[in-house]
Structure 1
Amino acid sequence: MTPEARHWLDLIQGLALPHSVRVMNVCGGHERAISLAGLRTVLPPEIALIPGPGCPVCICPEEDIYRAMRLALDEHVLLVAFGDMLRVPVNLPRTEPRSLDAARAAGADVLPIASPMDALVLARQHPEREVVFFAAGFETTMAPVAAMVAQGLPDNLSLLLSGRLTWPAVAMLLESENPCFDALIAPGHVATIMGPEEWQFVPHRHALPAAVAGFTPESLLAAIYSTLRQTLEKRSFLDNCYGEVAQPGGNTTAQRILKDVFDVVDANWRGIGVIPCSGFNLRETHVAHDARHRFPDQPNASRRRMGQMPAGCACAQVVMGKISPNQCPLYGRGCTPKNPVGPCMVSDEGACRIWWASGVRDREATPV
């Protein structure tokens, strides 16, 4: 542990916390950093760090993954997606392909890519093929996707868009009858794009402490300390503990491109439902590159399983912070990274996958 991290940890351990404090970290990258650094093992037991809804693979609607599979299998397009998306299972009989990986094994042309530019390169390399980029992600992913669209796409490249904004999910949790956290660690990468001020609604509207954090133990511990101090002093404000990167106002160029290319629409989150004004959709000026417009018959509406998780899977409760990953009935019992049942065990930003990778093997009873 670095001297700076030790400093913040000493300050946290010196606080006289009269009760438990539940601190939600929204970002999957934060959860990975917390687990890799072992912060839960050194913090006082009164502090509960709760993973939140910051995994785009985990909340990508099941019907979008199914649509991507059918495009690859039935329309014979070259389907490209970020690597994690290929392994997410959908609700189908075991006799049928149940993921993009399985569709590829069945003969579909499905390729993993690492960046939006890879989709552009493939489309230019294969002008004779229809290329569909299944683009799932939050603001930090959607900004380069929007920039690619703004610069002009080849005629044979279309987008199956499943982009989401982060803050509406947190707002939905706070507006529920029983919010599951007392303070918030806001995502540093999103704040870099959209500006830290986007999270002012947490203290202003809900009177909860909040702090923007980066991805080092030092920044995370500073943000945790800030929210705990706010809790003890009974005052709530937004603290920016990632100020060297997340500047006031954010990246205005990225914000402008996002606004020029996308409309903000109501959107479905897997296992959660439709959250108002939480999704990105291509604007009418770019509809020619919308895969839903180009291939309007996919999928059959009667097949859709809107937002459902597989039977027995509690990923939705994990994403919403209602239970910890090892309280899911399937955690480590039929659901592991090698054989995932739910999306939270697939992605590197999924809480179940992160906990398993960090060595958590014991299961806890699910709260009633």
Structure 2
Amino acid sequence: MYSVESLLSLIKKTPLTKPLRILNVCGGHERAITRAGFRTLFQHNIHLIPGPGCPVCICPEEDIAFAIHLALNENVVIVSFGDMLRVPIDCAIDGCDSLIAAKNSGADVRPISSVQEAVSIAIGEPEKAVVFFAVGFETTMAPVAAALLADLPNNLKVLLSGRLTWPAVAHVLRSQKDTFDALIAPGHVATIMGCEEWQFVIDHHDLPVSISGFHPESLLLSIHALIKNCSSRVITLNNSYPEVVKHHGNSAAKTLLKTAFTQVDAHWRGIGVIPRSGFSLAAKLSHLDVTNHYEPIDSSSRIIQTGLKTPPSCEQVILGQMAPDGCPFFGKECIPASPKGACMVSDEGACRIWYSTGERSVIEVIEKGNTQKVEIKS
């Protein structure tokens, strides 16, 4: 087993002819990278760029708006993962621009940490209609699928906003050709979907990819593997999380996802519609779909512009085009206590992570092949 010290030594000894731009997709990876201080250690030579790996950050505003509408105007209990309650939207629904604002206005909105809690609430309060606002990637959606396929109380319905990770990564790589040199893929998603899910990065984008866990050793193993790939001009799929990730993934979890959901075109906040990137309830579970039980928002009378538009820099951060501290609102108008954009809400959002840890990064954008050294903010 490699130590952090030995891996850092190996990385330092591996020659690089130009700065290396590595896209790290997962919010959990970004949190681990930042807390470990890797950017300070690597400085000018290796640039770790956060991507669209925070499900709270990319949850579309229309789904949040509908959840707010249900909470305020229907006799329902809204339950969702804690971070979702604080995500702001640009258009207020009956004066509320977030689920926490709806809660403060008297709506029954409750934070939960698992789908089992949603089921327990519905069982414990059978006289109430309970709506589970389900947000997340494959890792979260697998246990959600297992719960939905089991016997559920009749008063539980679902507002589903689940997403698949790889189509968004493919979109980022396709739309920003020659911007990145390598990719760190999320180990928890690969645990479900398998190493093979990331072969497209090599086949269609000619970039090396390494699947990583969340401890420093695994991340450094991935970074070292990618540096070696780029230095030797050999493109491979590396698994730096072999204790958990297998080639074909978790067959039981994949079966649950395939049985409970269908893949559909889906909207990603800050990105747009990505083909076949979303989960929709399978026909056999359509009775759980809350949109089949309640009318949509009456936009002419319910939606009010708040005047606090999400800054375009949020989109740039999500797409890996801008470092969080490049946003003019970062740490000023936009802080965790009063977020202006979704990236400042979740502990997997790049802006929240950087603000909370004091992370500062490269100011200038380094184009691929540019060997210019850039200054690191102190």
What is the TM-score of this pair, normalised by structure 2?
0.92
Structure 1 residue matching 2:52: 3-state secondary structure:
strand
Q: Tell me the amino acid that sits aligned with residue 109 of structure 2.
A: V
Q: CA deviation at 1:94?
A: 10
Summarize the alignment of residues 202-281 of structure 1 with structure 2, pairs less than 5 Å apart.
202-281=201-280
Q: CA deviation at 1:93?
A: 5.3
Residues 50 and 232 of structure 1: is their aligned pair in 2 closer, same or farther, counting only changes over 3 Å? same
Residues 55 and 115 of structure 1: is their aligned pair in 2 closer, same or farther, counting only changes over 3 Å? same
Q: CA deviation at 1:367?
A: 9.6
Structure 2 residue matching 1:250: 3-state secondary structure:
coil
Q: What root-mean-square deviation, in Å, do the aligned CA atoms of Structure 1 and Structure 2 show?
A: 2.1
Stretch of structure 1 that moved more, 90-99 or 201-210: 90-99
Summarize the alignment of residues 1-368 of structure 1 with structure 2, pairs less than 5 Å apart.
4-92=3-91, 96-295=95-294, 297-300=295-298, 310-360=309-359, 364=363
Structure 2 residue matching 1:132: 3-state secondary structure:
strand
Q: CA deviation at 1:287?
A: 0.7
Maintained 8 Å contact 1:9/1:43: no
Maintained 8 Å contact 2:93/2:303: no
Q: CA deviation at 1:301?
A: 5.6
Structure 2 residue matching 1:175: 3-state secondary structure:
helix
Structure 1 residue matching 2:175: 3-state secondary structure:
coil
Maintained 8 Å contact 2:212/2:219: yes
Q: Tell me the amino acid that sits aligned with residue 52 of structure 1.
A: G
Maintained 8 Å contact 1:313/1:341: no
Q: Tell me the amino acid that sits aligned with residue 22 of structure 1.
A: R
Q: Tell me the amino acid that sits aligned with residue 299 of structure 1.
A: I
Q: CA deviation at 1:16?
A: 1.7
Maintained 8 Å contact 1:313/1:342: no
Q: C-alpha deviations, 1:84-126, integer Å up to 9, x for none?
A: 0000011135981111000000010000000000000000001
Q: Distance in 2 between matches of 1:17 and 1:98?
A: 48
Percent identity of paired positions between Structure 1 and Structure 2:
52
What is the TM-score of this pair, normalised by structure 1?
0.94
Q: CA deviation at 1:314?
A: 1.5
Q: C-alpha deviations, 1:175-213, integer Å up to 9, x for none?
A: 115353110000000000010110011112211010000
| Shift >4 Å, 4+ stretches | 301-305, 361-368
Maintained 8 Å contact 1:282/1:290: yes
Residues 166 and 344 of structure 1: is their aligned pair in 2 closer, same or farther, counting only changes over 3 Å? same
Could you list the runs of 5+ residues in structure 2 that have no partner in the other structure?
Answer: 368-378
Residues 44 and 251 of structure 1: is their aligned pair in 2 closer, same or farther, counting only changes over 3 Å? same
Q: Distance in 2 between matches of 1:363 and 1:338?
A: 25
Residues 129 and 287 of structure 1: is their aligned pair in 2 closer, same or farther, counting only changes over 3 Å? same
Q: Distance in 2 between matches of 1:360 and 1:65?
A: 29
Q: CA deviation at 1:313?
A: 4.5
Q: Distance in 2 between matches of 1:364 and 1:215?
A: 26
Residues 78 and 366 of structure 1: is their aligned pair in 2 closer, same or farther, counting only changes over 3 Å? farther
